[in-house]
Amino acid sequence: MAETQGWQEETVQVAGTELVVTKGGSGPSLLVLHEELGHPGITRWHDEMARTHTLLIPHHPGFGKSPRVEWINNARDMAGFYAQVLQEQGLAPVNVIGFSLGGWIAAEMAANNAQQFRRLVLVGATGIRPSEGEIKDMFVVTARAYLDASVADMEKTPEFAKLYGGEQTPEQYEAWEDARAETARIAWQPYMFYPSLAPLLAGAKDLPTLIVWGRDDAVVPLSTGQAYNKAIAGSELVVFDGCGHRPEIERADDFVDRVRRFLA
């Protein structure tokens, strides 16, 4: 087990495989499902939320240090996998926040069994086809170009440089390419959405849901956020102006404040 600044990385035996989980904080559990390029590392929003919650950040099977699970072939399979994890670990019902691909996985879980969650937060989630614009194709550009497009203004987002600035390291390249390969395996056809998700989310109508989006999101258009808002009756859509696909680092203070109040 490795420990860095209060955060621990541990490997658990669960759902028939090994799953690497980054964990930190204290208080009620908050499951964090990461994006399609993997867990980016601990940022300020993680540290701030860890003051009031215990954050559990699993590295999806096939991403980071977690081994691939061969029977997981799409986002719905991944949702089923995490349902097993929650059951075996005695975590349900739990608060959950999902980013981009992780938001899609969380939404699939909610559509199948909303009772496994207390509250749901979706941030720039893929999973529903936008009515206006297109979900950015990560496979026609480099990982670095895809990341660069994910914020509205890099100069005004110092944490972006902390995470991704400077010369790309061999370790970063390998991790991003592994993540892209696994994303292609589970989210290629159709690309980053599933037609039946929106109607199936009718079953999540009683699940308190917060949907967070950047108005200038160039990765997943705002129309997808609006579609989620329509699909989950009673959900709330919060849109940050001058913000792209990463409100958690582009508008970190506002993001943490809004999420913390919702979870409270």
Domains of the chain: 2-263 (3.40.50.1820)
Q: What pLDDT, on a 0 to 100 scale, did the predictor assign at position 167?
A: 84
CB atoms within 10 A of CB 225: 27
Q: What pLDDT, on a 0 to 100 scale, did the predictor assign at position 158?
A: 93
Q: Which two tokens stand for residue 136?
A: 């950015």
Q: What pLDDT, on a 0 to 100 scale, did the predictor assign at position 4?
A: 38
2: left (phi over 0), alpha (psi -120 to 50) or beta: beta
**Per-residue pLDDT tens for 177-203?**
999 999 999 999 999 999 999 999 999
Confidence band of 260 (pLDDT split at 50, 70, 90) = very high
**Per-residue pLDDT tens for 48-79?**
999 999 999 999 999 999 999 999 999 999 99
Per-residue pLDDT, averaged over 215-241, amounts to: 98
CB atoms within 10 A of CB 166: 8
How far apart (Å, rounded) are the C-alpha atoms in residues 16 and 11?
Answer: 13
